[in-house]
Structure 1
């Protein structure tokens, strides 16, 4: 099929316009693919769950009979090992979970008063 000469500029314009709109939309327009949106939603949900569980961790630390000794162990640990020390206390293991949660341990460190004597 032959395309009339008068129609070719319109076809080229539509193709270039579509490409331009796509590039601008994904670059500056805030458009995302479905998989990227799902990934962002999953990360946001996980962050919110961790934030909701921090009071649980802090409450576990307050009611622990060995709190003073465990806090001393956490304080003595280097800054990059404190998360592991908090995980070893058992304060970041949720009921029904197989093990401690690393992200919760990191968030719990911020809530613990490690600077107090």
Structure 2
């Protein structure tokens, strides 16, 4: 008897069909969660929360670096920062107030570490360019 004849003569039972469907469903879920990148709602929320926190830290750290560079004593502060031990550099940044954002109620944890790491990585400070405020050039209108 050939395989095609056996295939054509095969009549599955209801139980066989049910177990085949269950097995296919389980196999689909295993493949989906292990290789296809599926996640549960809780995992997705945790990943979104972590991404949000990382973005806040990066934003505040960028502002911190800008504030540090804009400081009149930036060169001396950079030398002092590099002399601090690694675990005290974030305290140096916080004490200097460069990571403070007035619109936020509290400081973003982790931003000081990122700011200090970015500043330590600098060979030298970038040149500061001061652009005049265009509103200062305008003369106020007077009634004559």
TM range (shorter): 0.7 to 0.9
Contact preservation (8 Å) 1:70, 1:89: no
Distance in 2, Cα, partners of 1:59 & 1:21: 50
Structure of greater Rg: 2
Query: What stretches of structure 1 move > 4 A for 4+ residues in a row?
Result: 113-117
- Structure 2's unaligned 5+ residue stretches are 1-11, 126-144
How does the TM-score come out when normalised to structure 1? 0.76
Deviations 1:84-103 (A, max 9, x none): 22222211121144544332
Aligned residues: 113
1:111 to 112, 115, 118: 118
Q: Shift of residue 29 of structure 1? A: 0.9
Residue of structure 2 in register with 1:71 after alignment: 78
Distance in 1, Cα, partners of 2:108 & 2:77: 17
How does the TM-score come out when normalised to structure 2? 0.64
- Structure 1's unaligned 5+ residue stretches are none
Structure 1 residue 22 and structure 2 residue 10: aligned? no
CA RMSD after TM alignment: 2.5
Distance in 1, Cα, partners of 2:106 & 2:59: 18
